[in-house]
Amino acid sequence: AQTVTQSQPEMSVQEAETVTLSCTYDTSENNYYLFWYKQPPSRQMILVIRQEAYKQQNATENRFSVNFQKAAKSFSLKISDSQLGDTAMYFCAFMNYGGSQGNLIFGKGTKLSVKP
Protein backbone atom coordinates (compact mmCIF):
# COMPACT_ATOMS: atom_id res chain seq x y z
CA ALA A 1 0.00 0.00 0.00
CA GLN A 2 1.12 3.50 -0.73
CA THR A 3 1.89 5.91 2.08
CA VAL A 4 2.64 9.61 2.15
CA THR A 5 4.62 11.22 4.97
CA GLN A 6 4.87 14.88 5.83
CA SER A 7 7.28 15.22 8.73
CA GLN A 8 6.67 18.91 9.45
CA PRO A 9 3.36 19.46 11.28
CA GLU A 10 3.89 23.22 11.36
CA MET A 11 6.16 25.76 9.73
CA SER A 12 6.40 29.51 9.62
CA VAL A 13 8.10 31.92 7.26
CA GLN A 14 8.47 35.65 6.98
CA GLU A 15 6.66 37.38 4.17
CA ALA A 16 8.73 37.56 0.96
CA GLU A 17 11.05 34.76 2.06
CA THR A 18 11.31 31.22 0.76
CA VAL A 19 10.12 28.08 2.51
CA THR A 20 10.34 24.40 1.65
CA LEU A 21 7.81 21.79 2.74
CA SER A 22 8.92 18.17 2.83
CA CYS A 23 7.11 15.09 1.61
CA THR A 24 8.20 11.50 1.20
CA TYR A 25 6.18 8.61 -0.10
CA ASP A 26 6.39 4.89 -0.44
CA THR A 27 5.21 2.92 -3.43
CA SER A 28 6.20 -0.03 -5.56
CA GLU A 29 4.60 1.52 -8.62
CA ASN A 30 6.66 3.12 -11.37
CA ASN A 31 4.00 5.37 -12.86
CA TYR A 32 2.09 7.74 -10.64
CA TYR A 33 1.19 11.35 -9.94
CA LEU A 34 2.17 13.53 -7.03
CA PHE A 35 0.33 16.64 -5.94
CA TRP A 36 0.48 19.47 -3.48
CA TYR A 37 -2.87 20.81 -2.32
CA LYS A 38 -3.50 23.94 -0.31
CA GLN A 39 -6.36 24.11 2.18
CA PRO A 40 -6.99 27.60 3.55
CA PRO A 41 -9.31 28.22 6.52
CA SER A 42 -12.27 28.04 4.11
CA ARG A 43 -11.31 24.34 3.78
CA GLN A 44 -11.56 24.43 0.00
CA MET A 45 -8.97 22.07 -1.51
CA ILE A 46 -6.89 23.99 -4.04
CA LEU A 47 -4.45 22.28 -6.37
CA VAL A 48 -1.07 23.98 -6.13
CA ILE A 49 1.10 21.85 -8.36
CA ARG A 50 1.34 18.36 -9.79
CA GLN A 51 4.11 16.13 -11.06
CA GLU A 52 4.00 13.07 -13.28
CA ALA A 53 6.50 10.49 -12.12
CA TYR A 54 7.73 9.77 -15.62
CA LYS A 55 8.82 13.37 -16.09
CA GLN A 56 12.32 14.15 -14.88
CA GLN A 57 11.81 17.89 -15.05
CA ASN A 58 10.53 19.42 -11.84
CA ALA A 59 7.14 21.08 -12.11
CA THR A 60 6.85 24.83 -11.60
CA GLU A 61 3.83 27.07 -11.19
CA ASN A 62 4.76 30.71 -10.69
CA ARG A 63 6.13 30.99 -7.12
CA PHE A 64 5.67 27.29 -6.46
CA SER A 65 8.13 24.63 -7.52
CA VAL A 66 8.90 21.09 -6.54
CA ASN A 67 12.04 19.06 -6.05
CA PHE A 68 11.09 15.60 -7.23
CA GLN A 69 13.61 12.89 -6.41
CA LYS A 70 12.10 9.66 -7.72
CA ALA A 71 14.81 7.32 -6.46
CA ALA A 72 14.62 8.83 -2.98
CA LYS A 73 10.80 9.00 -3.18
CA SER A 74 10.88 12.60 -2.14
CA PHE A 75 8.63 15.41 -3.33
CA SER A 76 9.25 18.74 -1.61
CA LEU A 77 7.44 22.01 -2.30
CA LYS A 78 9.28 25.32 -2.45
CA ILE A 79 7.34 28.53 -2.08
CA SER A 80 9.25 31.61 -3.13
CA ASP A 81 8.42 35.19 -2.19
CA SER A 82 5.92 33.98 0.40
CA GLN A 83 2.73 35.97 0.71
CA LEU A 84 0.25 36.31 3.55
CA GLY A 85 -2.31 34.52 1.41
CA ASP A 86 -0.10 31.44 1.36
CA THR A 87 -1.03 30.79 4.98
CA ALA A 88 -2.85 27.44 4.91
CA MET A 89 -2.57 23.72 5.42
CA TYR A 90 -0.57 22.04 2.69
CA PHE A 91 -1.15 18.42 1.80
CA CYS A 92 1.09 16.22 -0.28
CA ALA A 93 -0.84 13.56 -2.18
CA PHE A 94 -0.16 10.46 -4.28
CA MET A 95 -2.24 8.91 -7.03
CA ASN A 96 -1.61 5.77 -9.03
CA TYR A 97 -1.29 6.37 -12.75
CA GLY A 98 -3.06 3.33 -14.04
CA GLY A 99 -5.08 0.41 -12.85
CA SER A 100 -6.89 2.49 -10.27
CA GLN A 101 -9.81 4.84 -10.28
CA GLY A 102 -7.85 7.84 -9.23
CA ASN A 103 -8.27 8.25 -5.51
CA LEU A 104 -5.72 10.37 -3.71
CA ILE A 105 -3.67 9.29 -0.73
CA PHE A 106 -2.86 12.26 1.46
CA GLY A 107 -0.13 13.02 3.92
CA LYS A 108 -1.06 14.43 7.31
CA GLY A 109 -0.40 17.97 6.21
CA THR A 110 1.84 20.89 7.14
CA LYS A 111 0.37 24.03 8.61
CA LEU A 112 2.20 26.99 7.08
CA SER A 113 2.02 30.41 8.63
CA VAL A 114 3.35 33.41 6.73
CA LYS A 115 4.21 36.24 9.09
CA PRO A 116 4.23 39.91 8.11
Residues binding other proteins (CB under 8 A): 33, 35, 42-45, 47, 50, 91, 95, 97, 101-109
> CA–CA distance from 64 to each of 5, 17, 48, 96 (Å)?
20, 13, 8, 23
Q: Which is nearer to other proteins, 12 or 44 (CB)?
A: 44
Question: Whose CA is closest to 78, among 5, 3, 11?
Answer: 11
- C-beta of 106: minimal distance to other proteins in Å? 5
Nearer to other proteins (CB atom), residue 75 or residue 91 = 91
Min. distance of Cβ 108 from other proteins in angstroms? Answer: 5
Quick one: residue 109, left, alpha or beta (phi over 0 = left, psi -120 to 50 = alpha)? left
Q: Which is nearer to other proteins, 86 or 91 (CB)?
A: 91
Query: In this structure, what DSSP letter does residue 18 have?
Result: -
